[in-house]
Structure 1
Amino acid sequence: MGEGKEPIFRYGETEIQYLKQRDPKLGAIIDQIGPIERTVDDDLFSAIVHHIVGQQISTKAQQTIWRRMREDLGEINAETILAAGTERLQGFGMTFKKVEYIEDCARKAASGELDLEQLPQCSDKEIIDQLVSLKGIGVWTAEMILLFCQRQIVKDFFIKFTKIYKKGARSTVWLLTPRLIDYIFPFSRSLQRYA
């Protein structure tokens, strides 16, 4: 990591103005809160492990496990994972399955079967295909890694994201009304031009 500030997911005035224009109430909240900084992990191996750790647990639990790992192992890479061993990794609070997935990823990275140096030069589809070949990584997780680690806008990701959340949101009518959904989700469609 170094001494500097952690990298953040960048968005600009165009995206902010779109949301503010689309919904004045949301615009007022944006003005009140200001920019949101969402950190990203520039290290692909670390990002994969971090995503596996966070699957199906609360954000707080993920942060606790991740903090323990970083405090004990230092840098999260294939070598430190393999050197730690199964018991030590489980001691951070992970299930046996998650440890199995993480060790599998570490073995593939260490052997060169998963070429983390070459992967960023591949197409989105090639990266996703490589990532889903790892145990514990599905298409959704691979797309999240692309978005928040590689900072690539995955083609058609926002369409899929919109459909999933519209369906989920409409099934919980008390949470989001279709009108609110229609305000929020056109923004995701507008980002497709960057794909």
Structure 2
Amino acid sequence: MHAFQIPLMPPYSFERLFQRLQTHPDPQLEVQAENNLLRRVFRVGSRPVLTSLQFVGSIDQPVLQVGTTSALSAEERDELVRTIRHVFCADLDLLPIYEQMQEEAELAVLVKRFRGLRLMHDSDLFQSMVKTIIGQQINLTFAANLTQRLLALAGDEVVDERGVKFLAFPTAEAVARLAVEDLRPLQFSQRKAEYIIDYARAIVDGTVELERLWAMEDEEVVAHLTALRGIGRWTVECLLMFGMGRPNLLPAADIGLRNGISLVYKLDTKPDEKEIRRMGERWEPWRSIYSLYIWEAVGAVKRKEVWEE
């Protein structure tokens, strides 16, 4: 086992991360909440690498202990570290965001309750877009089930020393080779199957160059990707937030955000997209983080937590 540590920017709440995973299941993860341990496969280059991730330390002195049985070159280890830091939002300084959020009493409650909560980002932009397309207009549990079926159909299998099987997310090349008829028996709708395969083929044929997206402004990414069939603004905003980690996204059309704002601000009716964008003006430049904390208020209610004080 090759092991090394990655320090994380405090505050970092392992407890909140694991609680969020209860309502946001990820079929790639083996979760051992009692040990603060996650196991999953990351791609290093194109190679699937099974990795263990144990959170040690405390909310104010957080450290991630990383282990793998795979032999890695120095370059591969550096790539794995970069991916893990991105996935676990390791370098985000929450303190200036909290200072701004506490200007509103309704949000100050969330800061206190969810202190140290961060997004878990997707490990690559192909995976992020495919998961977002899968999740369109269905609930989180069914989306996780569809993702698991795609993993089983086209992903790479890695077996640990105890014979436990893990699946790496499929590559764009693997998905591009699929036909719609391969996905329909897995309960993918006709359109969802078409959009996923079309997106994979756009990457393989060079119509979309994912690495170029990192140098683009948010609106440039939106314009570039919404040219593809089946990809709208909400889909790209999710990619920007969950795939690229952009801090100032406000997915105002998201029903979960509408529900969360209604809950947090104790509104009699759910705000529409225009009203959410108006409210979000005072949340800049951290609207992604505000959205996360508002979503988490809904998640806490689903988990039957008492989150108000």
For this structure pair, what is the TM-score category when the shorter chain's length is used for normalisation?
Answer: 0.7 to 0.9
Between structures 1 and 2, the one with greater helix share: 1
What is the aligned partner in structure 1 of residue 284 from structure 2?
Answer: 189
Change (3 A) 1:37 1:152: closer
CA 11–51 in structure 1, closer or farther in 2 if over 3 Å, else same: farther
The match for 1:137 among 227, 231, 247 is: 231
TM-score (norm 2): 0.49
Deviations 1:141-189 (A, max 9, x none): 21221122112245xx54x849x959x95xx943679xxx9xx856523
CA distance in 1, matches of 2:282, 2:88: 20
- Give the alignment's Cα RMSD to 1 decimal: 3.4
Number of corresponding residues: 180
Q: Does 1:58 align with 2:139?
A: yes
Offset of residue 98 of structure 1: 0.6
Quickly say closer, same or farther: Cα 1:90–1:48, change in 2 above 3 A. Answer: same
Match in the other structure for 1:148: 242
How far did residue 108 of structure 1 move? 1.1
Match of 2:122 in 1: 41
Q: 2:301 — aligned with what? A: none
Q: Quick one: structure 1 residues 176 and 131, their matched pair in 2 at CA, closer, same or farther if it must change by over 3 Å?
A: closer
- Deviation of 1:55 (Å): 0.5
Q: What does the per-residue CA deviation read over 1:67-109, in whole Å, with 9 as the maximum and x for residues that have no partner? A: 2222332232221112332222223321010111111111111
Match of 2:88 in 1: 8
Output aligned runs, 1:26-37, within 5 Å. 26-37=107-118
Aligned partners of 2:192, 2:270: CA distance in 1, in Å? 33
Q: Deviation at 1:18?
A: 2.8
Q: Which amino acid aligns with 2:141?
A: K
Contact 2:176 2:197 in 1 (8 A): yes
Give 5+ residue unaligned stretches, structure 2: 1-41, 43-48, 54-83, 156-168, 288-309
Q: Which amino acid in 2 is paired with 1:189? A: E
The TM-score, its normalising length taken from structure 1, stands at 0.74
Aligned identity (percent) is 23
2:98 and 2:269 map into 1 onto residues whose CA distance is 23
> Counterpart of 1:15 in structure 2: which amino acid?
I
**Structure 1 alignment gaps of length 5 or more:** none
Distance 1:176-1:18 versus aligned 2 partners, 3 A rule: farther
> 5 Å matches for 1:152-163?
152-153=246-247, 157-158=249-250, 161=252
Q: Which runs of 4+ in 1 moved over 6 A?
A: none
2:171 counterpart residue number: 77
Corresponding residue for residue 109 of structure 1 = 203
Q: The residue matched to 2:179 in structure 1 has which SS?
A: helix
**Aligned in 2, Cα 1:8/1:175: closer, same or farther, shift over 3 Å?**
farther
Q: CA deviation at 1:190?
A: 4.9
